[in-house]
Amino acid sequence: MAWLKAGNAQCSHPPTGVARPARLVLLGAPGVGKGTQAELLSERLGACHLSTGDVFRAAKSNCNGNQSAALKQALDYMRQGQLVPDTTVLAMVKERTACLHCRGGFLLDGFPRTVAQAEALSELLRSEGLALDGVVSYELPLEEVVARLSGRRTCSACKAVFHVSARPPVKEGICDHCGGPLYQREDDRPESIRVRMEAYENSTAPLAHYYRREGILFAIPAQGSPEEIFARTVVALQACLR
């Protein structure tokens, strides 16, 4: 709750007392399964999953609640279909600096998205006496990303998500949970996915090059089951978390 609400909200993550808190950034294009890996890593390491997307979603669903100036500004940009400026995102993260000191560590997801944000994050962490242990970049070829996302089907009633091959409904086109009709979201169509991926490559992928130069990038192939991908991640991180 401290991450979602900031201000005087108290951390709802139980103290883990781990001897070596893990402080990581997670990178990955839409469709690589980064959210699932974040859940598995959080459980394994005892680290808080700090997703800026979760903050925005919580703020939009509670539009009448108390919102900081930075968060209000960010939501205004999003409503207009514009990218949130680096300075605004950084201000929002600074309001949640206490979460970066979580006793179990953190998994920062959704920030940084640009090299400028990465440089600002490094400066913020230095000012707090902290440093990143590593940056995990989940990588998947474009055609596999298209296949994963274009196969998704969403229930028009309860919003449950299925996949035509990986997780099909019992009855084609019908939601298992409520019986509502399934449809393909506009941004899950192959042509839309390619546009999103191009935007990702242009804005976010350069982060991998930045962190590779810093010597803390761990590139993880995102093919296979979530368990297989997680096993690769754990092996890759062993050296930096000793």
- Residue linked to tokens 């000012």: 127
Active site residue 60: no
Q: How far is CA 222 from CA 27, 140, 143, 194, 215, in A?
A: 12, 5, 13, 18, 21
Confidence of residue 7 (pLDDT cuts 50, 70, 90): confident
Instruction: Name the catalytic one among 23, 152, 153, 232.
Output: 152
- Look at residue 222 in the predicted model and tell me its pLDDT: 95
Choosing from 34, 96, 148, 232, the catalytic residue is: 34
Domains of the chain: 2-138+205-237 (3.40.50.300), 141-188 (no CATH)
Give me the catalytic one of 103, 189, 196, 212.
196
Kindly state the percentage of the chain with pLDDT values over 90: 54
pTM over 0.75: yes
**Catalytic annotation on 196?**
yes
Strand partners, 153: 162
Between 66 and 141, where is the model more confident? Answer: 141
Q: For the segment 153-197, what is each residue's pLDDT rounded down to a tens digit?
A: 999 999 898 999 888 999 999 999 999 999 999 889 999 999 888
Contacts of 106 (CB under 8 A, 6+ apart): 21, 22, 23, 24, 47, 48, 49, 50, 99, 100
- Determine the angle formed by the axes of helices 190-203 and 142-150, rounding to 10 degrees: 130
Specify burial of residue 191 (Cβ count, 10 A radius: 0-12, 13-18, 19+): exposed
Taking residues 124-142, what's their average pLDDT? 95
Distance between terminal CA atoms of the chain?
29
Residues with Cβ < 8 Å from 92, sequence gap 6 or more? 52, 55, 68, 70, 71, 74
Q: How confident is residue 64, by pLDDT bands cut at 50, 70 and 90?
A: low
Buried b (16+ CB within 10 A) or exposed e, 13-30: beeeeeeebbbbbbbbbe
Helix (H, G, I), strand (E, B) or coil at 7: coil
Q: Is 185 tagged catalytic?
A: yes
Q: How confident is the model at residue 198 (pLDDT cuts 50, 70, 90)?
A: confident
Structure tokens at 97: 């600096």
Of 154, 143, 152, 134, the C-alpha closest to 235 is 134
pLDDT in tens, 14-30: 655 566 789 999 999 88
The catalytic position among 96, 113, 153, 232 is 113
More confident: 58 or 9 = 58
What is the CA 237 to chain-centroid distance, rounded? Answer: 18
Closest CA to 15 of 91, 101, 97, 90: 101
Q: pLDDT averaged over the chain?
A: 89
